[in-house]
């Protein structure tokens, strides 16, 4: 969508402490194969991501990402380093076996023992890639979308949307 709006990959916004992302990526890669340390790595990587986002508080997109990441982090930390996934008919669409623990190191099955179930991976999204989304994922997707727009030098300030609301409701009320 950024390309449709005519942006280019020119300006990289100045993020502070961007180097934090390197160990984060490293940890997540390391946790891919089955590891006894995987939960710990995932939790710590989420903590670092949160710190990175918090430091870059001044960007609007980062704040959205922060909300989403915080929601996911809360669920993951409370459930011992892995994200609970709701098992239902939806899940069988892309995961034939019900053995989740072999498929992914940082997910587990949602049960009555899982904490903060509201924020877990409970929504089935069939398009574009069949996947289970969580509440935080929605915000991360939105934030990422806006961030890419900004990277393409066409940032979308959230206040513009507020003005959109005004135009529908009457232009007499300009501040």
Give the length of the chain. 175
Determine, following the binding rule CB under 8 A, whether residue 170 of this chain makes contact with other proteins.
yes
Residue 71, helix vs strand vs coil: helix
Per-residue binder mask for other proteins (CB under 8 A), 19-48, x = binder: ------------------------------
Determine, following the binding rule CB under 8 A, whether residue 89 of this chain makes contact with other proteins.
no
Determine, following the binding rule CB under 8 A, whether residue 129 of this chain makes contact with other proteins.
no
Question: Which residue, 39 or 121, is less far from other proteins as judged by CB?
Answer: 121
Determine, following the binding rule CB under 8 A, whether residue 116 of this chain makes contact with other proteins.
yes
Report residue 93 CA to chain centroid gap: 22
Question: Which residue, 81 or 143, is less far from other proteins as judged by CB?
Answer: 143
Closest separation between CB of residue 63 and other proteins, Å?
5
Residue 102, helix vs strand vs coil: helix
Beta-sheet strands, E only, within the chain: 83-85, 107-109, 121-125, 131-134
Closest separation between CB of residue 34 and other proteins, Å?
29
Closest separation between CB of residue 55 and other proteins, Å?
12
Residue of 5, 8, 16, 115 that binds other proteins (CB under 8 A): 115
Distance, in Å, from the CA atom of 67 to the CA atom of 47, rounded to the nearest integer, reads 13
Closest separation between CB of residue 57 and other proteins, Å?
8
Distance, in Å, from the CA atom of 106 to the CA atom of 40, rounded to the nearest integer, reads 10
Closest separation between CB of residue 109 and other proteins, Å?
14
Residue 48, helix vs strand vs coil: helix
Determine, following the binding rule CB under 8 A, whether residue 145 of this chain makes contact with other proteins.
no
The secondary structure of residue 89, as a DSSP letter, is: T
Give the DSSP H/E element, type plus range, for residue 126.
Answer: none
């Amino acid at each position: 969508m950024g390309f449709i709006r005519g942006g280019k990959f020119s300006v990289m916004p100045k993020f502070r402490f961007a180097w934090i992302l390197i160990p984060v990526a490293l940890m997540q890669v390391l946790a891919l194969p089955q590891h006894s340390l995987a939960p710990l790595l995932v939790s710590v990587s989420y903590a670092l991501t949160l710190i990175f986002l918090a430091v870059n508080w001044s960007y609007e997109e980062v704040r959205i990402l922060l909300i989403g990441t915080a929601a996911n982090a809360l669920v993951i930390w409370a459930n011992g380093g892995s994200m609970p996934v709701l098992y239902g008919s939806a899940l069988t669409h892309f995961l034939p076996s019900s053995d989740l623990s072999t498929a992914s190191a940082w997910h587990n099955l949602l049960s009555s023992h899982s904490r903060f179930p509201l924020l877990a991976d409970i929504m089935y999204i069939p398009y574009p890639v069949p996947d289970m989304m969580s509440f935080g994922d929605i915000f991360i997707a939105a934030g990422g979308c806006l961030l890419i727009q900004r990277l393409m030098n066409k940032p979308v300030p959230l206040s513009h949307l507020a003005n959109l609301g005004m135009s529908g409701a009457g232009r007499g009320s300009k501040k």
